[in-house]
Amino acid sequence: MINSDLLNDRYKRIYSQLQKILNQTENQTARMATVAALLHHKMPRFFWTGFYILNQGNLIVGPYQGPLACQVLEKNKGVCWTALLQRKTLIVPNVHEFPGHIACDSRSNSEMVVPLWNESKEVWGVLDIDSQEFDAFSSVDKENLEEIVTLI
């Protein structure tokens, strides 16, 4: 497990890099794709890094990096829907113990889901990150990823 200070520094560098490069377009798909690519390639623990977006009451996959994922998540089930319904970031140290967890890839062992907010304080999607390690995510990931998603 990487030292918390080093991890925090790495996130701060990613944040300032994103601040610089996310000024080319207001397009949210382009911005989500950029965030997913940068996070995925800078964070060795990230096995799947991407977005699920609310569309007519369904959670549909958005830009992502990693192995093939479910395109549509069964309603009100799993980690992404729970984070969205509870309107808060969820850290799941062992996905096999999470009731209703949706296993798009059986190699994932821990997961973190961060809601995306619009200006009216509604949740319009989530950032979802899976790891092959158990207990891969901490409050350092939570605080930094919650900041990073505000850039989208």
Task: Identify the CA nearest to 126 among candidates 73, 71, 53, 77.
Answer: 53
Q: Which of 63, 101, 110, 136 binds ligand SME (CB under 6 A)?
A: 101
Q: Is 111 in the site for ligand SME (CB under 6 A)?
A: yes
Q: Which two tokens stand for residue 110?
A: 């821990």
Q: Which CB sits closer to ligand SME, 28 or 65?
A: 65
Nearest distance, CB of residue 74 and ligand SME, angstroms = 9
Question: Residue 126 pairs with which residues in a beta bridge?
Answer: 52, 115
Residue of minimal Cβ distance to ligand SME: 78
Q: Which of 69, 93, 117, 142 binds ligand SME (CB under 6 A)?
A: 69
Q: Which CB sits closer to ligand SME, 6 or 103?
A: 103
Q: Which one of the spans 14-22, 30-38, 77-85, 137-145 is the region binding ligand SME (CB under 6 A)?
A: 77-85
Long-range pairs for 73-80: beta carbons < 8 A, 24 or more residues apart: 73/102, 74/102, 77/102, 78/102, 79/111, 79/113, 79/128, 80/52, 80/113, 80/126, 80/128
Task: Identify the CA nearest to 21 among candidates 32, 34, 6, 11.
Answer: 34
How remote is the C-alpha of 71 from its chain's centroid?
A: 15
Q: Which CB sits closer to ligand SME, 15 or 98?
A: 98
State the residues that interact with ligand SME by CB under 6 A.
Answer: 48, 69-70, 73, 78-80, 101-102, 104, 108, 111, 128, 130
